[in-house]
Structure 1
Amino acid sequence: MPADWSRTIDVPERGAAARRWHVLDTGPPEVAESGPTVVCVHGNPTWSYVWSTVAGALAPRHRVVAVDQLGMGYSERTPRRRFADRVADLADAIDALGLTVDGPIVIAGHDWGGAIAMGWAVAHPDDLAAMVLCNTGIAVPAGRSAPAIIRLAASPFLLDAVCRGTPLFVSGASRLSRDRLTKVERSALAAPYRGAPQRAAIADFVDDIPLRHDAPSETDLAAVAERLNDVRAPVLLAWGPDDPVFNDDFLDDLAARMPHADRHRFPRGGHLLPLEHIGAPSAARVIADWLDGDGASTPAAATSVSEVSGDTSAADHRPLWAAIEDMASSRGAERAVVDMASGDALTWVEMLERIERGARALRSAGVQPGDRVAVLTPPGIDALVVAYAIVRAGGAATVADRGLGLSGLRTAIRSSRPRFVVGPRQARAAAQVLRWAPGAKMIDPGELVDGPPAGELPVPAPGEPAAVLFTSGATGPAKGVRYTHAQLGAQRDALAATYAISADDRLVAAFAPFALYGPGLGITTALPDSDVTRPGALTAAALSDACSKVGATMAFASPAALANVVRTASAVDGGAEIDGLRPLRVVMSAGAPVPSELLHDVANLAPAATLHTPYGMTESLPVADIELAAIDAADGDDPHGGVCVGSPVGGVDVMITAREFDAGEPVVALPVGAMGEILVRSPWTSAGYDGLWAIEAAARPADATGTRWHRTGDVGHVDELGRLWVEGRSVHVIDAAPGPVTPVPVERAVERRLRGTRVAAVGVGPHGRQQLVVVVEQRGQNGLASADIAAKVRSAVEPVGAAVAAVLAAGEIPVDIRHEAKIDRAAVARWAGDVLAGRRTKALRRH
């Protein structure tokens, strides 16, 4: 922090002598086109230093003034200040500095400084340009008590000893951030509070918290809370969820009071979010980007990624359950869904009845339109019924599958903040004990079966929330993805059109999330007997049995699942052609690049089927599609181009734009054949990410016409025939000195040479001078590959035009849990860097 930021000012106090304030003042912005001044208010027991990182990020375009409240930090020690006094003090300081003379300002507040910032904001609406709030509150959220840590510190027996007499409260505040602060930062936070006299205001601050109904500041705080709904300026709620003081309940409370607020929830963030080291994006970076985007409001002229020709209107929108109603009416006695693991099955009539009973039960339990309902029911028939019942009731089904792993599942559910949880006793107990869904009402799936047999069920509007789904977490924490009824309906229709699906089709879904589509498409769906958390455990026998049970015409499985089907096929009676697979007309596989060699092996097992590899992602599926014959043709045209995923399906637009583009500038398409980042748009592209403003802003750039696109995070190119080629993830591109090297072409070249071997191509070294390292999976190995393997790898990669610096071998290459196919190249790169540097390394693990 620059020393010249620190200064003191004398501020006339209304009706009293001037008070000396300490402030951190960055001074005039460095650029001519500057933004509004930002005033930052700290909480208790910190000081202006808590905003120093944010000030550094904002200083180029904004003057930042972070104040030390009276009695706090290095400001003058004064008699006790109540909440109303502190709001008035802040107004005095802003006036004394003349900060509003040149126009409205941005007010930012953290902890109890947020309440004071809100107090100033509602009293000065004409001077407010925007407001940023971090881990703060204005009232205790309904249905919960004040934070236990605050109640304890405020108790008459401990208040003076903990807050003034000893530095316990000061040191405890920084401990809340655990390893997210350095020792230097912890020491700096405590520096102004070395002695008891310097800590008097800390105790006064805690004592002013209205923990009892006759508290002096209760009325003033309540008055501010009531007026927050009148705030019209842009608001950013930047939140660290790992906070025992101002947790997500306070975030939800403020969001309800200011519905227009943008939210960014930092999964790794805690109580002292503005100062914490939490990886990218940091709170400082997000706040700076938000302000530079003029309050982060999406430009009115910009078009949504789902607003393209052919978008579904209210007039022609078919509800997600419409096909179930149709099948119950026309083929009611036929099986709708079969679970091979349990042996259970439902007819179309039974399924529709259970969905409608469940929907009525959910409405009776209090589910309102748009309410989030977490599905913790294990994969199977009950989970399908629960998901459709939620949607039919008007709720938003929050579906985080077990493929995320236990930790990922907890993080996903907590981030979505469901109001209801549906699951068996064990799942509900875990959700309560581990606080996956604080305050949510718990519902047993059995209660939905016993729902009312009759009663009105309103039909949700197309634009209302229908679901929150989660990405696989292969490149970071799983992100919640919001969908409306119209978008899911358009997605259903796109799948039906792409694969010519009719009521005569029958699907075997060996991938739990894809099983949700079956009933909505109006086709019988079978779930094979396999562990959904281990896709690679699906056997040929299990797949064949499921296909035989329903006379399947379609099957969907991940690449890892199909690979094991091929490996285990010889154990099934019937030899190369598995009996249950013979009637299949379509086999689909997705989730990661699917080797054509694997598809040919599957084709030998299902000779009548066309093999398809749909390309898409949680945020938009399908994007493109290709079948095996076309893959072979593409490989012949360009064997080193990556993975050809085919042409965009009807209704999808694809653009290739420059890597690492500025999301604030219009995106421009690259020429045919040029490698860049893949952008897509369609009527079924999701509504956006959930509570992740910065990621959403970066992922939805606009072109020169204002049309918005979805940033897939993949890189590739479009060839002269209009075919889309995927070459890897943008974050995994090897930035070598001669130029960027994409990983997938390298990996595919090695996979062809070392048949059946998993391969990862990663970059090691500084950005711009990275070296290409190829890691092959070989059981029992953990270091340099053999000379023979290294020679084969280098020979295979040579036609790609990339120079291999080293070839390593690892016993296992880490992949995601959901698909067991997406390689964690970041983990592989770290491991490879350690090996090549001679550092002690731990063996890589599959998960």
Structure 2
Amino acid sequence: MVGNSKSNYANRPAPGLPGLKSEWSRLLESPDADGVLRTWHFLDNDPNESKLTILCVHGNPSWSYLWRDLLTHCPKDVRVIAVDQLDMGFSDRTKSKRTLEMRIQDLHNFTQQLDISEPIITIAHDWGGPISLGWAQINQHCVKGIILLNTAVHQPERVLAPILIKFVRLPGVLQFCTQITKIFIWGALHLTEKKPSSSIKQAFFAPYKSSRRRKGIKRFVQDIPLHKKHKSFKTLESICDKLETFKDTPALMIWGARDKVFSDQYLGDLEKRLPHANVHRFADAGHFVSEEIDLSKIVFTWLKQLEIPEQTKLSYDEVSSLTTKINDAQLTTELAITEATKTQASVTFGQLNELIEQTCYGLLSLKVIPGSKVALMVYPGINLSALLYACWKIGAIPVLIDAGLGKSGMSKAIRSARPDFLVGDRRAIFAARLLKWPGTRVSVKKLSKIEQTLLVCKSDLPSFLSLTPIQLPGLPKRDAQAAIVFTSGATGPSKGVRYTHRQLESQRDALMELYEITPEDRLVAAFAPFALYGPAMGIPSIVPDMDVSAPGTLTAAHLVKAIQAINASLVFASPAAIANVMSTSGGLSDNDLEILSKVRLVLCAGAPVRPQLMKDFLSLTPNAKGYSPYGMTEVLPATNVAVPEMQTSTKGVNVGKPAPGVEIAISPLDRKGVSVEKPTSQINIVGEVKIRSSHTFDGYNQLWHTDALSRTSDNWHASGDIGSLDQNGDLWIGGRLIHVISTPTGLVMPVSVEFEIEEIPEVQLAAAVGVGPAGRQQIVAIIEMLNTSTIIQAAPMSLVSKIRSITSSRIAAVLTVKRLPVDRRHNSKIDRVLVKLWADKALSGEKVNTK
């Protein structure tokens, strides 16, 4: 029978459903849990020979159609079987109430009847998850891997059951929403962020056209065990308890974070039960995550990696050395940190060590344990350093999120990290309460009883100081996780970057070796992340009076004050900070210039820096050597270049030679700018920059697929930058891979074009983007000029002529705007994706207001 979706008997879907091939549709008789013969509908690609079988189990209210992407794109030697559970999809309607235990037995009997070849990978969604896991526990001998999408096996403590499920279960509502009407199906499909097309929605409705066919949906909802007395509670509890038997079975979790039913708390619960699982969390996807992502690409990439022998990770008996310098008896009375406040509060290394220990006692009193994630939303200074090093000392994992990400970016970051604890100033604690950020809250400053109650704040740092000393746990091992640091979000969504203690130690050591940092040095960190390394290096540090989330707020006067406060010898700043120092340097006195002359080293990092800007800055610090280390949150330093060697050309900007212990290679590109080949060290080959070092990050947090694509099996990290190596071994960077302009005459790197244009005095900043189809793009320059409108306009012909006369690439059009969009952290990295969108619209005749 084909297409009779009103019958109680199993049948096949009518042909023509989008993405579904009729030849996949099969029927099979199998005894159910009670021994009654039932007919199942299922999808099966049934290759001639298969080395692996994927068993797909849907939830409620969907059917096997959910897995069509896997059948469409599976390798020739992989069999994909997607079942319609009894009472669901196009399988038999049993007229009985099927419990979780019965459904597991139903599925087991079906697979026995089908005689599926081993090994088997299970994949399941929604309440198909517990059924699939229950089946896997019966058939553990043949299960090679487990994949779960938005599901649950347990109701986490202090987490309310899903409101939508509780609502639908209300008397009168249940029958109406799940059986009489299609509201439950419609609502489930609209739990996605990207709404499915009308034809896709109709395909999901296809097996459920009559009220009689929808009865299974109602009974499925009724079988969700929301309390201990429910008939399926013990079965679910047993599945949950036995998950530890899969500790050696590869597992992958693919999660839509905007699910209104299975929230992140359920993901967290599953992670605790399957701590070895790979996780990819999609921040902007909903309940039907498989409808919003390229599911097959992720699944088959993961399966391919299972075939690669796992590399043995180095195991270190040595403990972390990140806090060693702070304990150095020789530094007890030496200055450690000074704050650029009115009082200029400061601590010695001895005082900092005592403060760290008291902070350890406080964290331990709150039940922070090794492996706990602690979000530190504190301004750089004494408190942040004490918290950071206390976390490292007891084995907790600091989560560092830049305030420059803004409210939305910070919310996404903190929800993806899901910290157990959150320590913050009053603004952060208020935001955490208002925006419902996860984590037990701890305030930096003392709160009143009313504030503590309203903000649901557990404790505060001043309270830690009066705690009685207790025995601290041993220092963490070097290969233990040490931090999750979020990227700036300048080149895509902000990602959590995981580091181990060993990798952070290697980064510290690489910086000290590269710049010959000694105990006599003192650091001004206008590049806030590196203020935190001062204590680890055993040198004093200060963050200037500035908004660290907006580096362009640093003035020349405040830089001088910071240098004077600690008699600094090192200055570390971003290009935006240095640019504003130069623009505010006109009022510096002779005494200010004398203070600046004592600096021996200036470092500029965070974004491409114009050589002339660095040369101008060094005129203020005549006794300093200037360098620009190239790198990223994932690995810094990667290369280093001295100011005299900084130059630009059609290849981009010279970022120098590899730093100590770093290897650089290039993966060549095809004509459309796609990285296609293995890394090579050949000179003058343009491609994606690959980096390998001992201080390269450990992986991306909850972004398994991104991580898998960003590194090779032999540990090359794909930087996402485009560049080439020259005959001297220097690396030239031309921009981001996604920003490469593929013209009819070849690939053009945007940075080289932009630097050429920025030589024109009236140009504040320039962006070069490609407009048109890949391989035939035309170069459009968008120029920032302060005396222009927020509405994008065509540049005056005099300026266009001047630009075309000095650029080595053909410029098709020049547009002007008052302000180009740059990242919040560095105020330097241009959002070329947005600029390209502006250019596309403006050139097609639309009015584009960038206000």
Task: Provide the residue aligned with 1:161 in structure 2.
Answer: 176
Given residue 299 of structure 1, which amino acid in structure 2 is its aligned partner? P
1:227-266 mapped onto 2 (5 Å cutoff): 227-231=242-246, 232-266=248-282
Task: Provide the residue aligned with 1:837 in structure 2.
Answer: 844
1:138-157 mapped onto 2 (5 Å cutoff): 138-157=153-172
Residue 185 of structure 2 is aligned to residue 170 of structure 1 = yes
Q: How many residues align?
A: 811
Give the superposition deviation at 1:457. Answer: 4.5
Q: Answer yes or no: is the 8 Å Cα contact 2:20–2:65 preserved in 1.
A: no
Give the one of 493, 512, 521 matched to 1:505: 521
Task: Provide the residue aligned with 2:16 in structure 1.
Answer: none
Give the one of 796, 800, 806 matched to 1:786: 796
Give the superposition deviation at 1:439. Answer: 6.6
1:11-50 mapped onto 2 (5 Å cutoff): 11-14=29-32, 16-28=35-47, 36-50=52-66
Task: Provide the residue aligned with 2:5 in structure 1.
Answer: none
Given residue 733 of structure 1, which amino acid in structure 2 is its aligned partner? V
Q: Answer yes or no: is the 8 Å Cα contact 2:675–2:687 preserved in 1.
A: no
Given residue 253 of structure 2, which amino acid in structure 1 is its aligned partner? L
1:480-491 mapped onto 2 (5 Å cutoff): 480-491=496-507
Task: Provide the residue aligned with 1:432 in structure 2.
Answer: 433
Give the superposition deviation at 1:806. Answer: 1.9
Residues 199, 816 of structure 1: CA spacing in aligned structure 2 closer, same or farther, 3 A cutoff? same
Residues 787, 663 of structure 1: CA spacing in aligned structure 2 closer, same or farther, 3 A cutoff? closer
Q: Answer yes or no: is the 8 Å Cα contact 1:394–1:466 preserved in 2.
A: yes
Residues 121, 603 of structure 1: CA spacing in aligned structure 2 closer, same or farther, 3 A cutoff? same
Separation in 2, partners of 1:756, 1:545: 31
Separation in 1, partners of 2:64, 2:561: 66
Deviations 1:85-114 (A, max 9, x none): 11122223333333x23x222221000011
Separation in 1, partners of 2:630, 2:104: 55
Task: Provide the residue aligned with 1:105 in structure 2.
Answer: 120
Q: Answer yes or no: is the 8 Å Cα contact 1:5–1:27 preserved in 2.
A: no
Given residue 324 of structure 1, which amino acid in structure 2 is its aligned partner? I
Q: Answer yes or no: is the 8 Å Cα contact 1:421–1:443 preserved in 2.
A: no
Q: Answer yes or no: is the 8 Å Cα contact 1:358–1:450 preserved in 2.
A: no
Q: Answer yes or no: is the 8 Å Cα contact 1:237–1:262 preserved in 2.
A: yes
Residues 452, 482 of structure 1: CA spacing in aligned structure 2 closer, same or farther, 3 A cutoff? farther
Q: What secondary structure sits across from 2:72 in the alignment? A: helix
1:485-634 mapped onto 2 (5 Å cutoff): 485-574=501-590, 578-631=593-646
Q: What secondary structure sits across from 1:492 in the alignment? A: helix
Deviations 1:623-671 (A, max 9, x none): 111121222xxx3xx7333111111121111112224799999834151
Separation in 2, partners of 1:341, 1:386: 22
Q: What secondary structure sits across from 1:838 in the alignment? A: coil
Greater CA deviation, 200-209 or 20-29?
20-29
Given residue 107 of structure 1, which amino acid in structure 2 is its aligned partner? T
Q: What secondary structure sits across from 2:272 in the alignment? A: helix
Q: Answer yes or no: is the 8 Å Cα contact 1:11–1:92 preserved in 2.
A: no
Separation in 1, partners of 2:644, 2:483: 36
Deviations 1:452-505 (A, max 9, x none): 345434211111111111111112211111111111111111111111111211
Given residue 514 of structure 2, which amino acid in structure 1 is its aligned partner? T
Give the superposition deviation at 1:418. Answer: 1.1
Give the one of 683, 696, 699 matched to 1:688: 699
1:162-311 mapped onto 2 (5 Å cutoff): 162-231=177-246, 232-276=248-292, 282-294=294-306, 299-300=309-310, 302=311
Deviations 1:782-827 (A, max 9, x none): 13222122112222222xxx32222222222111100001111111
Separation in 2, partners of 1:536, 1:662: 33
Give the one of 645, 653, 664 matched to 2:655: 645
1:50-65 mapped onto 2 (5 Å cutoff): 50-58=66-74, 62-65=78-81
Q: Answer yes or no: is the 8 Å Cα contact 1:572–1:578 preserved in 2.
A: yes
Deviations 1:666-696 (A, max 9, x none): 8341511211111112221111111111111
Structure 1 length as normaliser, TM-score? 0.91
Residues 160, 136 of structure 1: CA spacing in aligned structure 2 closer, same or farther, 3 A cutoff? same
Give the superposition deviation at 1:260. Answer: 2.5
Q: What secondary structure sits across from 1:614 in the alignment? A: strand
Deviations 1:722-777 (A, max 9, x none): 11111111111112222211111111221223465211111111222222222111
Given residue 292 of structure 1, which amino acid in structure 2 is its aligned partner? K
Q: What secondary structure sits across from 2:40 in the alignment? A: strand
Task: Provide the residue aligned with 1:672 in structure 2.
Answer: 683
Task: Provide the residue aligned with 2:813 in structure 1.
Answer: 806
Residues 548, 331 of structure 1: CA spacing in aligned structure 2 closer, same or farther, 3 A cutoff? same
Separation in 1, partners of 2:470, 2:114: 67
Give the superposition deviation at 1:331. Answer: 4.7
Separation in 2, partners of 1:291, 1:602: 52
Task: Provide the residue aligned with 2:475 in structure 1.
Answer: 459
Given residue 801 of structure 2, which amino acid in structure 1 is its aligned partner? A
Identity in percent: 38
Given residue 81 of structure 1, which amino acid in structure 2 is its aligned partner? R
Give the superposition deviation at 1:396. Answer: 0.7
Task: Provide the residue aligned with 1:319 in structure 2.
Answer: 321
Contiguous gaps of at least 5 residues in structure 1: none
Residues 343, 756 of structure 1: CA spacing in aligned structure 2 closer, same or farther, 3 A cutoff? farther
Give the superposition deviation at 1:413. Answer: 1.2
Q: Answer yes or no: is the 8 Å Cα contact 2:602–2:626 preserved in 1.
A: yes
Residues 430, 540 of structure 1: CA spacing in aligned structure 2 closer, same or farther, 3 A cutoff? same
Given residue 18 of structure 1, which amino acid in structure 2 is its aligned partner? L
Give the superposition deviation at 1:539. Answer: 0.8
Given residue 182 of structure 1, which amino acid in structure 2 is its aligned partner? S
Give the superposition deviation at 1:17. Answer: 4.5
Residue 493 of structure 2 is aligned to residue 477 of structure 1 = yes
Residues 439, 211 of structure 1: CA spacing in aligned structure 2 closer, same or farther, 3 A cutoff? farther
Given residue 690 of structure 2, which amino acid in structure 1 is its aligned partner? L
Separation in 1, partners of 2:62, 2:849: 40
Given residue 204 of structure 1, which amino acid in structure 2 is its aligned partner? R
Residues 645, 449 of structure 1: CA spacing in aligned structure 2 closer, same or farther, 3 A cutoff? farther
Separation in 2, partners of 1:262, 1:107: 15
Separation in 2, partners of 1:535, 1:136: 43
Separation in 1, partners of 2:159, 2:126: 18
Residues 644, 272 of structure 1: CA spacing in aligned structure 2 closer, same or farther, 3 A cutoff? same
Greater CA deviation, 622-631 or 162-171?
162-171
Task: Provide the residue aligned with 2:369 in structure 1.
Answer: 368
Task: Provide the residue aligned with 1:697 in structure 2.
Answer: 708
Residues 840, 664 of structure 1: CA spacing in aligned structure 2 closer, same or farther, 3 A cutoff? closer
Deviations 1:529-578 (A, max 9, x none): 11122211111111111111111111111101110100011133339x63
Deviations 1:601-642 (A, max 9, x none): 1011111111111111111111111121222xxx3xx73331
Give the superposition deviation at 1:303. Answer: 7.3
Structure 2 length as normaliser, TM-score? 0.90
Q: What secondary structure sits across from 2:339 in the alignment? A: strand
Task: Provide the residue aligned with 2:397 in structure 1.
Answer: 396
Task: Provide the residue aligned with 1:773 in structure 2.
Answer: 780
Give the one of 104, 118, 121 matched to 2:133: 118
Residue 21 of structure 2 is aligned to residue 10 of structure 1 = no
Q: What secondary structure sits across from 1:37 in the alignment? A: strand
Q: What secondary structure sits across from 1:467 in the alignment? A: strand
